[in-house]
Each structure stands twice: as structure tokens, then as C-alpha cells.
């Protein structure tokens, strides 16, 4: 962050409190110091960032957003009492070279309990390592999102392909 030109704050998504310490994610709120004719004061970018707990190797003293923008606050939803950014799931799935490019996340409610299913495809050349892949995937998802998933493996090429914007996250819970 170029703190010579911008005041960047991280605001807790639920409480609105300002987050100063590294390791906690929140909405990026920006105030631009270089705008005169049309000031930009406390602009809510709706981007989710997290302060890094390290300094830049170049010696710069400005704070760093760890991993850049990691999600959007308008995409975040609460599942099993945990704030979930679908982009976090995508990041984990895409980090596995053994998996296909397509996946779907479906959130449903059974009674008072949220249920989250992840539909994936394993590339044909990695089918033999399926159990190991699923174990690693479950572990990575638990670490990244603090949630457990029911993982469904579908034949390669069976999940829908999208031409324009993909709708991979489906929240089917009744909102009433």
C-alpha cells in the first residue's frame, strides 16, 4: 500500500471495527490524500484483504496486503457460523493440478444445520491417487476456510462448462 497517497484501513465485516493487527481479514476502506476536486473519503472498496506480518524485502516500510485482494465482501456468506468467501474455495481447488478446471459448491440446510457440498472432477491420469487427493483437499479446505465439506467426485467433463461468468457457488438455503 502506498501510504504516502492513501490511508488504507481494514474494517471487520461483521462489527465494523478497524483491524490493525496482521492475520485478520476484513474490508479495505480507502481515503485518498491526492484528490482535491472530488475527495475520496473512507471509500468502501468491498475488497477483502489482510495485513501481512512481514515487511517488504526491498526495505519499504509501508504495510503489505498479504496475498493482495483475497475476496469480495459482497460475495461473503455465513455457513455453519463461519464467514465464507467462495474465492477461498476456488483458490484451494485450483491449487490441485490433479483436479479439473470445473467445480461447484452447493450450500443447503437440513433442519438447523448447514450442509456444504463440493463437486469436483479428478483428471483421468490421476484417478489412481483419488483417496490421497481427497484427503489433501479436505485438509487444505479445513485450513483455509475452517469448514468441513462433503466432497463429490464426478467423471471428468461431467460438471457444467460456462461460456460467460461461471456460477460455481450455489446457496440453496431458504432465506426466510
- The pLDDT, as a whole number, for residue 83 is 84
Percent of the chain residues topping a pLDDT of 90 = 53
Architecture of domain 77-171: 2-Layer Sandwich (3.30)
Cell readout for 152 is 463429490
Is the per-residue pLDDT at 176 higher than 70?
no
- pLDDT: which is higher, 96 or 65: 96
- The pLDDT, as a whole number, for residue 8 is 94
pTM over 0.85: no
Concatenate the DSSP letters of all residues of 1-46 into one string.
--TTTEEEEEE-TTT-PEE-STT-EEEEEEEESS-SSS-EEEEEEE
- pLDDT: which is higher, 172 or 67: 172
Domain boundary assignment for the chain? 6-72, 77-171
User: For the CA atoms of 68, 69, 71, 73, what is the dihedral angle to 10 degrees?
Assistant: 140
Amino acid at each position: 500500500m502506498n501510504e504516502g497517497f492513501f490511508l488504507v484501513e481494514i474494517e471487520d465485516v461483521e462489527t465494523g471495527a478497524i483491524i490493525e493487527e496482521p492475520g485478520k481479514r476484513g474490508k479495505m476502506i480507502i481515503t485518498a490524500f491526492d484528490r482535491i476536486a472530488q475527495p475520496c473519503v473512507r471509500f468502501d472498496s468491498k475488497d477483502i484483504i489482510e495485513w501481512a506480518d512481514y515487511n517488504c524485502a526491498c526495505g519499504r516500510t509501508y504495510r503489505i496486503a498479504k496475498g493482495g485482494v483475497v475476496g469480495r465482501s459482497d460475495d461473503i456468506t455465513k455457513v455453519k457460523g463461519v464467514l465464507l468467501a467462495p474465492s477461498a474455495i476456488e483458490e484451494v481447488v485450483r491449487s490441485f493440478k490433479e483436479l479439473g478446471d470445473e467445480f461447484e459448491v452447493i450450500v443447503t440446510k437440513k433442519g438447523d444445520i448447514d450442509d456444504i457440498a463440493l463437486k469436483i472432477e479428478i483428471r483421468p491420469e490421476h484417478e489412481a491417487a483419488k483417496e490421497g487427493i481427497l484427503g489433501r483437499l479436505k485438509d487444505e479446505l479445513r485450513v483455509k476456510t475452517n469448514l468441513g465439506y462433503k466432497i463429490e467426485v464426478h467423471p471428468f467433463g461431467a460438471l457444467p462448462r460456462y461460456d460467460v461468468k461461471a456460477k460455481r457457488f450455489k446457496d440453496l438455503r431458504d432465506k426466510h
